[in-house]
Amino acid sequence: MAILQILDDSNDVLRKKCREVTEITPRILTLLDDMTETLHRANGAGLAAPQVGVLRRVVLVEAEPGQLYELINPEIVETRGEQCEVEGCLSLPHQWGTVKRPAWVKVKAQNRKGEWVFYEGEELLARAFCHEIDHLNGILFKDKAEHMMSAKEIEEYFSQD
């Protein structure tokens, strides 16, 4: 496994729409493994393939430590409710904003065996699913942010913990 470079928002790759994965090949499996190692090293809640320069519909979500979701060709098939919470992104270091997302989502995706699976998530998990799937369509959280936080607001927000 390898640690991959996470692209920042100055890279145009993050604005491109990703291609569907038509076959689960050894390269896709290696990508999943390398993305997992990269996500853990970066201490993030999710990572999408375009963030590491690969324009394929592959994302990882790990909103809770030890609960890793590998999603190939994911799509949101159902949503409920609404939440507006603070988000950040590994590709936008030191940037945070409030984003309105569904409070609950149901996601359909393929797993590493190519089987179609469904996952449901609420609160942070729902936000992470939405955030990472947005990456596959060239959308960054700042595009949807109702408010991008200033340095002072970020400092105050994180000092509350």
Q: Catalytic residue numbers?
A: 132
Query: What percent of the residues of the chain are helix, what percent strand, and what percent coil, each to the nearest 5?
Result: 30, 30, 40
In the numeric block, which tokens belong to residue 48? Answer: 């999408």
Burial class (CB in 10 A: 0-12, 13-18, 19+), 36: middle
Non-local (6+) Cβ contacts of 160 within 8 A are: none
Task: Using the Cα atoms of residue 124, residue 151, residue 136 and residue 6 in order, give the sign of their dihedral.
Answer: negative
The long-range contacts involving 79-82, CB below 8 angstroms and separated by at least 24 positions, are 79/104, 79/105, 79/106, 80/104, 80/105
Q: In angstroms, what CA-CA distances link 27 with 4, 9, 20?
A: 14, 25, 14
